[in-house]
């Protein structure tokens, strides 16, 4: 089955996280999708209900490119900066 | 010379068509002001783990051993645990401010 290079659907399997405030579907290279293994990419679809939030989290290795498909929201990202860079004015 | 690290906060309003990059290891939280649907592409995905900083499941802070919590945070380990256990949901939670129960 795994060697067939057919389109696959993110939502054809169970969500990784799901409760009444949101759902996250994800297909990772570990799940034996050769297309994703070749590219070393995971794909995910996130649904957050109005008035809810995805709790603060981070990804250990992956750089995530997020595309807003539908709806509005606010994002907060936290990084670390060297203090020296701040002095350049 | 000593290089000091400083926490930097980045905020963004999200609308359909927007694209954002979340670097590995950078904590992120997203609140939906209407039903929100996002698509994510993870680069360098092999063996990636998503670690949460709040909620019951997959919470890395809850996994810190008690004596270490005692040293790392201003409150006692017991106080830290009580705070962490307040959030009963996992991964997704209600973001509306609500009146205190009890």
Take residue B2 and report the two structure tokens written for it.
């000593």
- Measure in Å the smallest separation between the Cα of B76 and chain A Cα atoms: 22
Residues of chain A with pLDDT > 90, as a percent, come to 70
Separation of first and last alpha carbons in chain B = 53
> Which A residues, 6 through 35, put their C-beta within 8 Å of a C-beta on chain B?
17, 19, 21-24, 28-30
Give the one of A40, A65, A84 whose C-beta lies nearest to B46's C-beta.
Answer: A40
Binary contact (A82, B3; C-beta < 8 A) = yes
What pLDDT digit, counting tens, does each position of B17-55 carry? 999 999 999 999 999 999 999 999 999 999 999 999 999
Q: Which of B2, B36, B46, B54 to mutate to test the interface with A (most CBs of A within 10 A)?
A: B36
Section B69-95 average pLDDT: 95
- Cβ burial of B57 (10 Å; 0-12, 13-18, 19+) is exposed
pLDDT of chain A, 89 residues: tens digit per residue: 445 678 889 998 999 999 999 999 999 998 778 889 999 999 999 999 999 999 999 999 999 999 999 999 999 999 998 776 555 55
Q: What is the pLDDT of residue A1?
A: 44
Q: Which candidate in A21, A39, A66 is best for mutational testing of the B interface (most B CBs within 10 A)?
A: A66
- The span from the CA of B81 to the CA of B66, in Å, is 9
Report CA Rg, chain B. 17
- ipTM of the prediction: 0.90
Compute the nearest-CA separation of B36 from chain A (Å).
4
Q: Do B14 and A72 touch (CB under 8 A)?
A: yes
Tell me the per-residue pLDDT of B54-67, one tens digit each, with 9 for 90 and over.
Answer: 999 999 999 999 99
Q: Are B14 and A67 in contact (CB under 8 A)?
A: no
Judged by DSSP in three states, B7 sits in strand
Averaged confidence pLDDT in chain B: 93
| Token output for A19 | 């409760």
Per-residue pLDDT tens for A6-25? 888 999 899 999 999 999 99
């Amino acid at each position: 089955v795994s060697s067939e290079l057919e389109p696959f659907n993110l939502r054809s399997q169970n969500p990784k996280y799901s409760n009444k405030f949101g759902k996250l579907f994800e297909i990772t290279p570990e799940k034996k999708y050769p297309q994703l293994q070749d590219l070393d990419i995971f794909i995910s679809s996130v649904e957050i209900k109005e008035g809810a939030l995805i709790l603060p989290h981070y990804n250990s290795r992956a750089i995530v490119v997020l595309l807003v498909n539908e709806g509005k929201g606010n994002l907060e990202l936290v990084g670390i900066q060297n203090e020296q860079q701040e002095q350049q004015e | 010379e000593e290089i000091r690290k400083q926490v930097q906060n980045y905020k963004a309003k999200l609308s359909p068509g927007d694209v954002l990059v979340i670097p590995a290891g950078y904590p992120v939280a997203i609140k939906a002001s209407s039903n929100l649907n996002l698509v994510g592409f993870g680069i360098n995905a092999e063996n990636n783990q998503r670690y949460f900083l709040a909620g019951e499941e997959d919470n890395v802070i809850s996994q810190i051993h008690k004596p270490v919590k005692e040293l790392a945070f201003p409150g006692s380990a017991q106080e830290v645990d009580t705070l962490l256990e307040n959030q009963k949901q996992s991964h997704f939670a209600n973001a509306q401010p609500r009146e205190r129960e009890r």
